[in-house]
Structure 1
Amino acid sequence: MSIRGNGAAPKVLAVSDYPVLNLGLEKFVCSNAPHLEWKGAISELGSLANAIKAGANIIMTDLDSALGQDCVNLLGPINQVSIVALIGSATEDLVEASVLKGLKGVVQKQAGSNVLLKAILAVHQGELWLDRQVTSRLLRGLTAREANPGSILDRLTKREQMIYKAVIKQAGAPSRLIATDLHISEHTLRNHLTAIYSKLGVSSRLELLVLAQKDVAQIKPALPKRG
């Protein structure tokens, strides 16, 4: 398995108040070296700043715990850190809210170690790794109708509108699959996304998804014509 993008392995930090979980994540990360680099584990938020300064850029946490939820609330908007959460008992509403706050990856606790590795590498490359149910809930309102042409689409060219709609409808898909569906290269897709991000004032696919969801939420259904 190769590391694409910037060529550097993800530097993984575990944030959990469960020693057994931290130990398991350490074993997992170290067994996948050099694809992953272990940066340690912490059990309180006060130590996060120092860990980030030390180079950690992937946070693994437990969304079933209060500490994991606090971690997402604190670090979600920070671009240089990506959070991947393990979930088991977390409610759908909590997971959805966490994704909108900046959570980049969601992995079920019963998933295999290969799934967790793929999730971390995908998130490190700027992708989203979301559970199918989470993606479905986030996109339910987006795929039911077109985005408001008076707010977002009128800022984009027709080609960019097509790219925008494809990325929104396939929010959890890897870039290569979206590019294949659009019959363009990943490089061309990235170029279009760069232009779209610039025009809409966002910097990532996650921010684009959040913007699109807010845009749809602001659309009020038209009143039926009388007569």
Structure 2
Amino acid sequence: MADPQRTITLIVVDDHPVVRDGLRGMFDSAPGFEVLGEAADGVAGVDLATRLDPDVVLMDLRMPGGGGVDAIAELTRRGARSKVLVLTTYDTDSDTLPAIEAGATGYLLKDAPREELFTAVRAAADGRTVLSPAVASRLVSRVRTPAAAREEPLSAREREVLALVAKGTPNRGIAAELFISEATVKTHLTHLYAKLGVKDRAAAVAVAYDRGILG
């Protein structure tokens, strides 16, 4: 858990100057945050995040000159320390799941209340998966399948893996925590995805919270 007294650094990546200005003003006026810089597209965002090493990157998804999903994937490939929190306009955005799969810590809608956004950035800085209630509900409805209705119970080990996924722990970290191989972690993930009727980590977390598997 991050020190609640420390200042969380962030950068804003969005192609709309008004959005960037609004977010910078919001965070600059709140204690405990420092906006290190801004970028207008994903390519510039990756460069900025690499140079400034912020705790959190607020990332738009659809931007001319370089979209958010590709930028997130590149930051993940480079092993960036920064956590990416996607801010999307629509909860139906088809880029949302690919963004999570690419390595984003979570996502919110741009109309999220100030305090929700502040809380989400703090959570993202701690490595916790962030799903706004509206987006989580939409995500759950999108990933449900007839097979999921049978709700096959998760094993104790699968629940342990899922709990670590919910904390934002990567496969390597899960393997170290549970003293198992990364290949075994992937096998557990495949099984719990099938039982929950989902295809990725964020959807698994959303469905698990919805069903009360995660408290």
AA of the residue aligned to 1:43: A
Q: 1:21 aligns with which of 7, 19, 22?
A: 19
- Partners of 1:12 and 1:57 within 8 A in 2: yes
Q: Aligned equivalents of 1:213 and 1:21: distance in 2?
A: 41
Alignment of 1:84-99 (within 5 A): 84-89=85-90, 91-99=92-100
Q: Which secondary structure does the structure 1 equivalent of 2:70 belong to?
A: helix
Given the superposition, is the C-alpha separation of residues 6 and 107 from structure 1 closer, same or farther in structure 2, using an over 3 Å criterion? Answer: same
- Partner in structure 1 of residue 194 of structure 2: 216
- Partner in structure 1 of residue 202 of structure 2: none
- Partner in structure 2 of residue 199 of structure 1: 180
AA of the residue aligned to 1:71: A
Structural RMSD (CA): 3.9
Identify unmatched segments of 5+ residues in structure 1.
148-152, 176-190, 220-227
- Partners of 2:91 and 2:109 within 8 A in 1: no
- Partner in structure 2 of residue 43 of structure 1: 40
> Once the two structures are superposed, what CA deviation does each residue of 1:100-136 show, in whole Å capped at 9, x if it has no partner?
1111121112210111111111111110012313552
Given the superposition, is the C-alpha separation of residues 50 and 115 from structure 1 closer, same or farther in structure 2, using an over 3 Å criterion? Answer: closer
Q: Aligned equivalents of 1:129 and 1:73: distance in 2?
A: 18
- Partner in structure 1 of residue 73 of structure 2: 73
- Partner in structure 1 of residue 112 of structure 2: 111
- Partner in structure 2 of residue 53 of structure 1: 51
TM-score, length-scaled by structure 2: 0.65
TM-aligned CA deviation for residue 10 of structure 1: 2.2
AA of the residue aligned to 2:18: V
Residue 100 in structure 1 maps to residue 81 in structure 2: no
AA of the residue aligned to 1:129: V
AA of the residue aligned to 1:216: A
- Partners of 1:87 and 1:106 within 8 A in 2: yes
- Partners of 2:46 and 2:75 within 8 A in 1: no
Higher Cα radius of gyration: 1
Residue 5 in structure 1 maps to residue 2 in structure 2: yes
- Partners of 1:64 and 1:88 within 8 A in 2: no
Residue 127 in structure 1 maps to residue 124 in structure 2: no
Q: Aligned equivalents of 1:137 and 1:97: distance in 2?
A: 17
- Partners of 2:39 and 2:48 within 8 A in 1: no
Q: Aligned equivalents of 1:71 and 1:90: distance in 2?
A: 20
Identity, % of aligned pairs? 17
- Partners of 2:87 and 2:108 within 8 A in 1: yes
